[in-house]
């Protein structure tokens, strides 16, 4: 391990090592007993852990402050291919060390099956534009008001002359939320992730939703400047993802 064992609290290193072995052995009862009781439902499905596994090796245990420690454990499959999970540990009220959160590393964005054009097709030009590498927002051809989300008629002047115009993917954080729960099967292995509601000054403050990149341990500030990158989908079943990046990640 990359840490001095004597600098860790008593019992932590041994608990983490036993936990890794329990995961590798498929001993679910022992694994669940390591979880914080009120996090079991969330933790059960948050990491993508293939089976069977043949070994576990604790790589690092790091003090991340607030009485919490991050452990990186490398698991090997029978063919020697490996992957790593990072678990965060905290002392429970009974004195034992328990897992507070777990994530696959490196952190990757979830590709949601529900993304893509709605059934009514109103927003199809938006998704088609993402495939072309552009962010397009609906705009009234009469009064020039930006419209989001898309409508069949302009909510200001009731014109049916609605169009689609390119907007620079540059804006500010209007709101955000961090998702820890695997609400959909495809988010397993990609938790937690942060969704931001981004206000676009280039579209009169229209607000679009997207995933914030590199958000582990980051508390986004309301009003923080962000820029969006359009990431191509991993396969033909999915649509591109507008992924936002903080302009000043450390501020």
Q: What is the DSSP letter of 84?
A: E
**Who contacts 67 (Cβ-Cβ below 8 Å, separation ≥6)?**
90, 91
Residue pair 98/90 in contact by the 8 Å Cβ criterion: yes
CA gap 132, 51 in Å, rounded: 38
Nearer to Zn ion, 145 or 178 (CB): 145
The only residue of 28, 96, 108, 156 in contact with Zn ion, by rule CB under 5 A: 156
CA gap 206, 39 in Å, rounded: 36
The only residue of 102, 140, 194, 215 in contact with Zn ion, by rule CB under 5 A: 140
> Within 10 A of 111 (CB to CB), how many other CB atoms are there?
19
Tokens matching residue 193: 């992730």
Question: What is the smallest separation between the CB atom of 53 and Zn ion, expressed in angstroms?
Answer: 59
**Who contacts 157 (Cβ-Cβ below 8 Å, separation ≥6)?**
140, 142, 143, 145
Closest CA to 245 of 136, 149, 171: 171
**Who contacts 243 (Cβ-Cβ below 8 Å, separation ≥6)?**
109, 210, 211, 212, 213, 228, 229, 230, 231
Question: What is the smallest separation between the CB atom of 152 and Zn ion, expressed in angstroms?
Answer: 12
Question: What is the smallest separation between the CB atom of 197 and Zn ion, expressed in angstroms?
Answer: 23
Residue pair 42/119 in contact by the 8 Å Cβ criterion: no
Tracing tokens 């962010």 back to the chain, one arrives at 135
The only residue of 157, 166, 209, 222 in contact with Zn ion, by rule CB under 5 A: 157
Question: What is the smallest separation between the CB atom of 153 and Zn ion, expressed in angstroms?
Answer: 8
Q: Is 154 in the site for Zn ion (CB under 5 A)?
A: yes
User: Binding residues for Zn ion, how many (CB under 5 A)?
Assistant: 8
Nearer to Zn ion, 82 or 146 (CB): 146
Listed ranges 46-54, 92-100, 135-143, 191-199: which one lies at the site for Zn ion (CB under 5 A): 135-143
Listed ranges 100-108, 151-159, 162-170, 172-180: which one lies at the site for Zn ion (CB under 5 A): 151-159
Q: Is 159 in the site for Zn ion (CB under 5 A)?
A: yes
The three-state (H, E, C) secondary structure of 55-74, written as one string: EEEEEEEEEEECCEEEEEEE
Binding mask 83-122 for Zn ion (x = CB under 5 A): ----------------------------------------
Question: What is the smallest separation between the CB atom of 209 and Zn ion, expressed in angstroms?
Answer: 23
Listed ranges 49-57, 127-135, 142-150, 206-214: which one lies at the site for Zn ion (CB under 5 A): 142-150
Listed ranges 43-51, 58-66, 98-106, 143-151: which one lies at the site for Zn ion (CB under 5 A): 143-151
Tokens matching residue 66: 């607030």
Nearer to Zn ion, 28 or 159 (CB): 159
Q: Is 142 in the site for Zn ion (CB under 5 A)?
A: yes
Contacts to Zn ion by CB under 5 A:
140, 142-143, 145, 154, 156-157, 159
């Amino acid at each position: 391990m990359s840490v001095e064992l004597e600098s860790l609290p008593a019992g932590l290193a041994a608990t983490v090592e036993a936990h890794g072995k329990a995961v590798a052995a498929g001993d679910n009862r022992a694994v669940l007993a390591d979880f914080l009781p009120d996090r079991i439902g969330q933790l059960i499905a948050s990491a993508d852990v293939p089976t069977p596994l043949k070994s576990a090796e604790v790589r690092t245990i790091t003090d991340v402050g607030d009485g919490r420690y991050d452990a990186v454990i490398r698991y090997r499959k029978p063919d020697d291919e490996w992957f790593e999970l990072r678990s965060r540990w905290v002392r429970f009220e009974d004195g034992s060390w328990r897992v507070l959160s777990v994530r696959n590393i490196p952190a990757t964005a979830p590709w949601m099956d529900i993304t893509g054009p709605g059934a009514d097709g109103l927003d199809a030009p938006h998704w088609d534009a993402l495939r072309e590498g552009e962010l397009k927002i609906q705009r009234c051809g009469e009064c020039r008001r930006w419209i989001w989300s898309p409508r069949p008629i302009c909510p200001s002047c009731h014109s049916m002359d609605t169009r689609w115009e390119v907007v620079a993917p540059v804006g500010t954080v209007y709101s955000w939320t961090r998702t820890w729960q695997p609400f959909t099967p495809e988010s397993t292995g990609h938790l937690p992730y942060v969704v931001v509601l981004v206000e676009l000054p280039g579209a009169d403050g229209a607000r679009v939703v997207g995933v914030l990149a590199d958000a582990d341990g980051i508390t986004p500030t309301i009003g923080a400047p962000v820029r969006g990158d359009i990431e191509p989908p991993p396969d033909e079943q999915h649509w591109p993802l507008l992924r936002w990046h903080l302009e000043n990640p450390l501020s």
